[in-house]
Amino acid sequence: MRSKRVLSAVAVAAIAGLVVTACGSGDGDGGSDGAGEINLSLGEPKSLIPPNIGETEGGAIARLVYSGLYDYGNDGSLVPVIADGQPTTTDNKVWTIKLKTGFKFQNGEEINAELFKKSWDFAVDGRNANGGSYFFSKISGFADTQSGADPDGEEGPKKGADPKADELTGVKAVDATTLEITLDKPWVIFPQLLGYTAFFPTAEGCRTAVDACNETPIGNGPFKFVGKWEHETAIKLTRWDEYTAEKSSYKDLNFKIYTGSSVAWPDFQAGTVDIAAPTPDAYNDAKSTYGDKMIEADSPSTWSLGYPVYDEIFSDVKVRQAFSMAIDRQAIIDAIFQGQGKVLDSLTPSMIPGFKAGTCAYCKVDVEGAKALLDSSKWTKGKKLELWTNTSPTGEKILKAIGDQLNKNLGIEYELKTLEWPEYLQKKTDQEITGPFFTGWQPDYPSIENYMAPLYSSIAKDGSDNDFGFYNAQYEALMAEGDTAPDMNAANAKYQEAETILGTELPIAPLFTRMTSTVIGERIDFDSVNRNPILGTIDFVKLKLA
Amino acid sequence: MGRYVIRRLLQAVLTFGVVMFLLHYLMSLAIQINGNPVRTFFGDKPVSPELLAATKAKFGLDDPCLSRVGDPCLNLFGKRMSDWASFDFGTNFNRADVSELILNAIPKTLQLFLIVTIVWVLFGITAGVLAAMRRGRFLDYLVRIGTTLTIAIPGFLLLILTQKIIGVWLGNWAREEFGRDSVLGIMFQPSYNARYPWLTLLVPGIVLGIFGIAGITRLSRTSMLENLRADFVRTAKAKGLRQRRVTIVHTLRNSLIPVITLIGFTLADALGGSVITEGIYGIPGMGKLAYDAVKKVDTPVIIAVTAILSVSYMLVNLLIDLLYAVLDPRIRYE
């Protein structure tokens, strides 16, 4: 019976060993403040330098750490922060902005008109390769701040020349509190851009040490960094008490960064994250559990099916219209997103200023109409249709659903063409795609103009140098009239006319927007939650603890 | 022994060079075939060629060889290796220092693997030994069925289930019963918490340990069974040695040789498992770093992480070979 004792000794040791490991790790008790702390989730930002921020994650942090001239209200209007009142102009070409005094950076630098000018010179300089520099492209002198074109093309050894100018001549600091911005030509929409992060100021100490500033931003906003940006792990902020505008009622704001396959939802259920979006498979469950604490809202990002208008067959508008009419958008939303989407019947979603319903005349399902149109078009019967998307589960699912519908409704055989994301984007730019393709649009500033001009307008005269190879003289004329209209309302009327042309000519078939759902945890006072439909984020400064 | 170690290290250096070049070539090919990842920074937005070129230069992806399919980009390789010689691993697409990212990630993966190894040694070997001693009885069948089950259940499924059942349900119960900061409340967490690294790594560590445990348990059992019938064990028993000494010194020690080899290899395999575990539990270790970098085609990170993994793989193998000599006096490296 001796062996038994030995073995039980081993087993006991095994269990004891486990207990020891468990106990040995009880250190590092960082304390729990309880009150005064809000914990949120975030994806990994790409950059935290304001003019280089192009995505929601970086934008969310930047809006807490930095303050700009303006913020966006829930209706997309400009809410002055550092600016004193709305921008003024007499001709829509020269804009004057007055600044408030008393704003400072967290390193003590004072914020005045001159600092904004320097920040913007830094933003546009070609050598800094800031992703948001294109926001300044309509300000005069922009072209001279860009690096020259590569003289021997991508494959040659030579590099483009350095920029001709160090500063943006269109921006002038008239005095400490007055900024004057001159555009190349009148553009009534211009102020709408000013709430975007690209126009946020950057401290001298940040511009001279960009990489360090990216790790620990020198902000001027309601929050400041605690330690560094812990990449792919966490960002910790705390209230900056010297901030002169609206401050938070709680002290610490911690973001846990989720990347790859990790998601915030289980942590929300466990109570360690205060606000989170349920995973798609947990949606129904979340809705029944949290019901009235769940915010469901439409998103400003649109998803569409683009047409290669430069292609022989798709140059025929009837083919484009027929395909659009043969797609049952609601069925796709129901099948793939559990109904969490909204069918688009115009090119813009409804929360955007200037939105007009029903500008797309061919976005409703009409199988008979589609068949008739297709029969009288350039489409050759029996041809195999190529549907293009980048390799992503969602994109492939949606295009497969579209393909199946076209097959059922119009009897067209299709083939899915998938490409890796970089190659897909390049092929799109190079107009090498030979069939309808999946495309999305995230607006840069709240105006219907932003859903059209960057995509379908032509840079060269009489050209078709956009991704779609689309050119329509009447559309171009209406957009130009809108740009030079005396005020925003008159401009939007022109833009809506232009949108109606796109809705008939269909360089793309608008599909849908996704609905987002967010659940607010019990530690947060639900009444303090203010979600901005334009930015698609909650105003974290206004949050209160329950 | 010394000469053997030197020979092995020299081989390792050569292997390392080949691995690095292959990896560099594959990454260059990926960019040449799939397109320059810098284009994706702008998404669906139109971007001017000047800005695109400037951004490529910023991230060191502007070498013309990257647009010629099949070009081995020897210039880039030489530049990377000379940077490495001065311990400069470059920056990733988020402008973060790669060396710092890796230095932050390594301890977490090591902690995870320490837990995994402890699970294997404590549970795997113990269960195998117990099953061998109780051959043909209930415990033996239990261990055999248990190991089959752990092989049959896909790892990610087990991880997601554990996250939900232990992290959320059991955890919420513990947090309600004993308070938010109780040991159980923190331990049963659906994801890693940097404030309590060991406690929150315990559950994912044990789950990751389950992936490789079957092989180790089975091998310990077979190996024990074989040695229990060996002549030297019978002799030891006949000599009247105490049962404990026969089991531990004569049988167990000799049975451990193949098991230790397997632990080494399984650890290397577990690196693959750690990608999923670290991903689902949000543990900022090497596996997650590699996974995220591969998704973004973030070349500097992928190459640096793989370099470190291949070095550690080679070191682990060397260590195992040396351990043989310690466990089995008959093996000598001369």
pLDDT tens for residues B144-198? 999 999 888 888 888 889 988 988 889 889 888 888 778 888 888 888 888 888 9
Residues in B closer than 8 angstroms to A230, CB to CB, are 104, 194, 284
Within a domain: residue B36?
Answer: yes
Rounded (10°) CA dihedral A299, A300, A305, A306: -160
Contact A191, A86 (CB under 8 A): yes
Within a domain: residue B123?
Answer: yes
Within a domain: residue B99?
Answer: no
- The tens digit of pLDDT for each residue in B45-93 reads 778 888 888 888 888 888 888 888 888 888 888 888 888 888 788 888 8
| Nearest Cα to Cα of residue B199 among A21, A132, A166 | A21
Q: Where along chain A do its domains lie? A: 37-257+521-545, 299-514
Q: Quick one: angle between helices B253-281 and B197-228, nearest 10? A: 150
Q: Quick one: what percent of chain B has pLDDT higher than 90?
A: 15
The three-state secondary structure class of A21 is helix
Longest dimension (CA), chain A: 102
- How far is residue B120's CA from residue A67's CA, in Å, rounded to a whole number? 53
**B190 contacts A267? CB cut-off 8 A:** yes
- How far is residue A533's CA from residue B97's CA, in Å, rounded to a whole number? 36
- Beta strand ranges found along chain B (DSSP E): none
Alpha carbon of A99: minimum distance to chain B alpha carbons (Å): 31
A542 contact B CB<8A? no
Which of B59, B108, B159, B191 to mutate against chain A (most A CBs within 10 Å)?
A: B191
Within a domain: residue B109?
Answer: yes
Residue B50 CB coordination number (10 Å)? 19
- How far is residue A225's CA from residue A231's CA, in Å, rounded to a whole number? 13
B253 contact A CB<8A? no
Residue B217 CB coordination number (10 Å)? 26
Contact A306, A389 (CB under 8 A): no
Topology adopted by domain A299-514:
Dipeptide-binding Protein; domain 3 (3.10.105)
Residue A25 pLDDT:
33
Rounded (10°) CA dihedral A295, A299, A305, A309: 170
Taking the CA of residue B244 as centre, how many other CA atoms within 13 Å lie in the half-sphere pointing to its CB? 8
Option in B44, B53, B194 nearest A440 (CB):
B44
From residue A528, alpha-carbon distances to A346, A544, A545 in Å are 33, 6, 9
Q: Which residue of B has its CA nearest to A216?
A: B96
Contact B186, B197 (CB under 8 A): no
Which of B59, B86, B113 marks a domain boundary? Answer: B86
Which of B33, B51, B97, B139 to mutate against chain A (most A CBs within 10 Å)?
A: B51
Produce one character per residue of A397-425: b if its CB has 16 or more CB atoms within 10 Å, e if not. ebbbbbbebbeebbebebeebebbbbbbb
Q: Quick one: angle between helices A421-429 and B2-34, nearest 10? A: 30
The three-state secondary structure class of A83 is strand
The three-state secondary structure class of A282 is helix
B155 φ/ψ angles, rounded to the nearest 5 degrees: -55, -45
Residue type, B45: K
Option in B36, B50, B194 nearest A233 (CB):
B194
Tell me how many domains chain B contains. 2
Pairing verdict, β A70-72 and A78-80: antiparallel
Contact B239, B148 (CB under 8 A): no
Do B78 and B215 lie in a common domain? Answer: no
Alpha carbon of B168: minimum distance to chain A alpha carbons (Å): 5
Within a domain: residue B268?
Answer: yes
pTM over the 0.95 mark: no
DSSP code for B167: I
Within a domain: residue B91?
Answer: no
- How far is residue B114's CA from residue B95's CA, in Å, rounded to a whole number? 31
Which of A6, A55, A211 to mutate against chain B (most B CBs within 10 Å)?
A: A6
- How far is residue B175's CA from residue B188's CA, in Å, rounded to a whole number? 9
User: Can you give the residue range of the structural domain that contains B315?
Assistant: 105-329
For residue B196, give the CATH number of its domain.
1.10.3720.10
Within a domain: residue B92?
Answer: no
Alpha carbon of A151: minimum distance to chain B alpha carbons (Å): 11
Residues in A closer than 8 angstroms to B279, CB to CB, are 260-262
Burial category of B112 from C-beta neighbours within 10 Å (exposed 0-12, middle 13-18, buried 19 and up)? buried
| Nearest Cα to Cα of residue A396 among A416, A415, A422 | A416
**A29 contacts B55? CB cut-off 8 A:** no
The three-state secondary structure class of A175 is strand
Residue B88 pLDDT:
80
Residue B95 pLDDT:
78
Within a domain: residue B95?
Answer: no
Do B133 and B276 lie in a common domain? Answer: yes
Residues in B closer than 8 angstroms to A54, CB to CB, are 41-43, 45
In this prediction the ipTM stands at 0.80
For A57, the token pair is: 């994650």
B-contacting residues of A 173-232, CB under 8 Å? 211, 214-215, 229-232
Residues in B closer than 8 angstroms to A127, CB to CB, are 54
Alpha carbon of B99: minimum distance to chain A alpha carbons (Å): 12
A258 φ/ψ angles, rounded to the nearest 5 degrees: -110, 125
Do B29 and B116 lie in a common domain? Answer: no
Which of B22, B53, B86 marks a domain boundary? Answer: B86
Look at the block and give the residue holding tokens 């370099």: B307
Taking the CA of residue B129 as centre, how many other CA atoms within 13 Å lie in the half-sphere pointing to its CB? 25
Which of B41, B55, B67 to mutate against chain A (most A CBs within 10 Å)?
A: B41
Cβ-Cβ contacts under 8 Å for A251 (sequence gap 6 or more): A33, A36, A37, A238, A239
Alpha helices in A250-376 (DSSP H): 265-269, 283-290, 317-325, 329-337, 367-375
**A26 contacts B199? CB cut-off 8 A:** yes
- How far is residue A72's CA from residue B252's CA, in Å, rounded to a whole number? 71
**B51 contacts A146? CB cut-off 8 A:** yes
The three-state secondary structure class of A237 is strand
Task: State the sign of the Cα–Cα–Cα–Cα dihedral A481, A486, A490, A492.
Answer: positive
For A78, the token pair is: 């400009």
**B180 contacts A160? CB cut-off 8 A:** no
Residue B141 pLDDT more than 50?
yes
Alpha helices in A351-487 (DSSP H): 367-375, 393-410, 421-429, 453-456, 473-483
Residue B311 pLDDT more than 60?
yes
Residue B185 CB coordination number (10 Å)? 22
| Nearest Cα to Cα of residue A200 among A109, A100, A122, A101 | A122
From residue B220, alpha-carbon distances to A124, A395, B232, B331 in Å are 66, 48, 18, 20
Q: List A253's β-bridge partners, or say none.
A: A38, A237
A-contacting residues of B 94-153, CB under 8 Å? 94-96, 101, 104, 115, 118, 122-123, 126, 129-130, 133
- Beta strand ranges found along A188-314 (DSSP E): 223-225, 234-239, 252-257, 275-276, 294-306
Option in A17, A147, A267 nearest B54 (CB):
A147
The three-state secondary structure class of A417 is strand
Residues in B closer than 8 angstroms to A423, CB to CB, are 33-35
- How far is residue A422's CA from residue B297's CA, in Å, rounded to a whole number? 10
**B202 contacts A439? CB cut-off 8 A:** no
- How far is residue A299's CA from residue A518's CA, in Å, rounded to a whole number? 12
B255 contact A CB<8A? no
A282 contact B CB<8A? no
Under-50 pLDDT residues of chain A: 1-34
Q: Which residue of A has its CA nearest to B288?
A: A260
| Nearest Cα to Cα of residue B102 among B307, B271, B314 | B307
Option in A32, A215, A262 nearest B279 (CB):
A262
**A159 contacts B189? CB cut-off 8 A:** no
Domains A37-257+521-545 and A299-514 share a fold: no
Alpha helices in A29-178 (DSSP H): 56-65, 113-124
Which of B54, B86, B118 marks a domain boundary? Answer: B86
**A269 contacts B168? CB cut-off 8 A:** yes
Topology adopted by domain A37-257+521-545:
D-Maltodextrin-Binding Protein; domain 2 (3.40.190)
Alpha carbon of B2: minimum distance to chain A alpha carbons (Å): 35
Do B139 and B280 lie in a common domain? Answer: yes
Contact A478, A501 (CB under 8 A): yes
CA distance from start to end of chain B? 6
Alpha carbon of B40: minimum distance to chain A alpha carbons (Å): 5
Residues in A closer than 8 angstroms to B198, CB to CB, are 21-22, 24-26
Residues in B closer than 8 angstroms to A44, CB to CB, are 94, 292
Which of A1, A19, A25 to mutate against chain B (most B CBs within 10 Å)?
A: A25
Do B135 and B56 lie in a common domain? Answer: no
| Nearest Cα to Cα of residue A67 among A105, A107, A120, A122 | A105
From residue A158, alpha-carbon distances to A127, A148, A150, B35 in Å are 16, 11, 7, 20
Pairing verdict, β A294-306 and A508-520: antiparallel
Alpha carbon of A305: minimum distance to chain B alpha carbons (Å): 13
